[in-house]
């Protein structure tokens, strides 16, 4: 088949045009937020992953993006920074001079801890500002990025009207006939982009299904949620950010968030208007909001004012545990120190006392011969109001104290010849000493005899205690 020169030129021109409009592969998203704010779960949802595996430090993932109109596919890189401040040094790998102009930032907050929103947002936005200030970005490139954000707000129109080009209200809602027409550019609304980082920012509130728990357990009302929403929307105005309330659990706004990201990053269509009716599925694209729209929320706020200090209205509940409820770790006593102490008590004619276990509560400290009160349900009480007598084993019987003393001695004093020992120290291979300073030599047969005697004595004591307990139980009956 033969093509004319004109046809060949047209085909080449069309190919070049199509190749230039392909989805770029150098775009990325940086996700910031405290630990447990739902960063990994949110990104896994956008990826279509059912069982996300949380990592640490700086995680990297990617989201497949498809342009249905051009039948083109690309990968959107995603960096997820750990909430631990110790990992902030990894920031430079996710956001630097080379990818600054191609990065969108997501700031995540969780609805499970609304009282920490102010601290978390201020913390992460400061880290972001300080990091950008330290980058050696070309001033012209930085200016272009900042101007691009201003244009988003100056040229915003309610995109739902694009579904019907003939809509009679389209002319009214279109704020600009052309994005590039600087002559028609309107000034930025009050309080918008007073801090321009040159980066697209999307604030995402996760786990909004927890709102019902806040209502039931902490008596949150609509005015509390309205107060929270108006505060965060005002924050978003300052940085020119978008706002999304999401719930991965109930699949709220997750698909819309994906579509919005591809719209902001790749220019793909996004025709969903702002959503503010459902309190747990708020969606406010950059450019739509202003102080007049936010003030509508003020009408429902009876017990608070918009300028009230945030944490005076949304205060952390005092009864809520913020640390993990773990048992205190028990430090065990060094074996030789314990045996030495027991031996000294036996030589002084005292009964070795058993250390109090944190798992065994005996209020009142009952002593031998006196009732030892226990609270109902405590260990050993078995739900009975009876107060059994504490039974003190008699170690003063012939052979009892001596046998145990010999037993402890045999454990403390080892035969000489062990390698690497210190002279005179138990268990270190030095020469064993008796309590009066003389050398102690214990033959293997003596050790066996002493251990046998000790075992018999402990068995006898066990039977004696059991007999006394049985007698006590029978007398109670």
pLDDT digits over 241-283, tens only? 999 999 999 999 999 999 999 999 999 999 999 999 999 999 9
Q: Does residue 1 have a pLDDT over 60?
A: no
Please, which pLDDT band fits residue 456 given cuts at 50, 70 and 90?
A: confident
Instruction: Over range 174-197, report the average pLDDT.
Output: 66
Plot region of 349 (φ>0 → left; ψ -120 to 50 → alpha; else → beta): left
Q: Cα 247–312–234 angle (5° rounding)? A: 55
Report DSSP state, residue 75: E
Whole-prediction pTM: 0.62
Please, which pLDDT band fits residue 290 given cuts at 50, 70 and 90?
A: very high
Instruction: Over range 223-243, report the average pLDDT.
Output: 97
Q: What is the mean pLDDT of the chain?
A: 76
Of 360 and 50, more confident: 50
Concatenated DSSP letters of 211-263: HHHHHHHH---HHHHHHHHHHHHHHHHHHT-EEEE-BTTTTBSHHHHHHHHHH
Q: Cα 196–258–46 angle (5° rounding)? A: 120
DSSP β-bridge partners for residue 58: 81
pLDDT of residue 357: 45
Share of the chain above pLDDT 70, in %: 62
Of 320 and 86, more confident: 86
pLDDT of residue 160: 45
pLDDT of residue 420: 45
By the 8 A CB rule, do 233 and 191 touch?
A: no
| Neighbour-count burial for 178-202, b at 16+ CB within 10 Å, e otherwise | eeeeeeebeebbeebbeebbbbbbb
pLDDT of residue 413: 62
- Length of the chain in terms of residues written: 477
pLDDT of residue 430: 45
Instruction: Over range 329-353, report the average pLDDT.
Output: 78
pLDDT of residue 352: 56
């Amino acid at each position: 088949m033969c093509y004319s020169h004109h046809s060949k030129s047209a085909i080449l021109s069309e190919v070049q045009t199509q190749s230039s409009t392909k989805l770029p592969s150098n775009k990325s998203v940086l996700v910031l937020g405290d630990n447990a704010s739902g960063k990994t779960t949110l990104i896994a949802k956008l990826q279509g992953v059912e069982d996300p595996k949380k990592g640490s430090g700086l995680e990297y993932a990617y989201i497949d993006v498809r342009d249905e109109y051009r039948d083109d596919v690309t990968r959107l890189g995603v960096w997820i920074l750990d909430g631990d401040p110790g990992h902030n040094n990894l920031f430079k790998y996710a956001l630097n001079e080379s990818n600054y102009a191609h990065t969108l930032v997501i700031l995540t907050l969780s609805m499970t801890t609304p009282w920490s929103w102010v601290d978390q947002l201020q913390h992460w936005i400061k880290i972001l500002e300080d990091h950008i200030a330290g980058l050696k970005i070309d001033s012209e490139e930085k200016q272009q990025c900042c101007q691009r954000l201003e244009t988003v707000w100056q040229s915003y129109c309610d995109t739902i009207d694009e579904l019907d080009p003939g809509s009679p209200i389209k002319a009214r809602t279109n704020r600009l006939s052309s994005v590039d027409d600087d002559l028609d550019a309107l000034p930025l609304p009050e309080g918008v982009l007073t801090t321009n980082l040159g980066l697209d920012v999307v604030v995402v509130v996760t786990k909004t299904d927890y709102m019902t728990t806040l209502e039931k357990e902490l008596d949150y009302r609509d005015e509390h949620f309205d107060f929270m929403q108006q505060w965060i929307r005002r924050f978003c105005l300052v940085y020119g950010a978008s706002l999304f309330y999401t719930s991965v659990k109930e699949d709220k706004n997750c698909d819309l968030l994906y579509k919005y990201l591809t719209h902001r990053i790749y220019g793909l269509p996004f025709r969903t208007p702002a959503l503010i009716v459902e309190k747990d599925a708020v969606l406010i694209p950059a450019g739509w909001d202003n102080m007049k729209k936010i003030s509508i929320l003020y009408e429902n706020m009876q017990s608070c004012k918009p300028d009230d200090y945030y944490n005076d209205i949304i205060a952390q509940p005092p009864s809520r545990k913020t640390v993990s409820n773990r048992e205190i770790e028990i430090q065990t006593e060094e074996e030789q120190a314990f045996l030495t102490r027991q031996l000294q008590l036996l030589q002084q004619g005292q009964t070795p006392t058993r250390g109090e276990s944190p798992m065994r509560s005996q209020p009142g400290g009952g002593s031998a011969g006196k009732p030892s009160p226990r609270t109902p349900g405590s260990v050993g009480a078995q739900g009975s109001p009876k107060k059994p007598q504490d039974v003190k084993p008699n170690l003063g019987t012939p052979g009892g104290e001596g046998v145990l003393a010999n037993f402890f001695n045999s454990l403390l004093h080892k035969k000489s010849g062990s390698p690497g020992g210190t002279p005179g120290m138990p268990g270190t291979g030095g020469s064993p000493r008796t309590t009066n300073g003389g050398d102690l030599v214990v033959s293997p047969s003596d050790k066996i005899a002493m251990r046998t005697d000790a075992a018999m004595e402990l068995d006898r004591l066990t039977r004696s205690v059991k007999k006394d307990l049985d007698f006590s139980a029978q007398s109670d009956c």
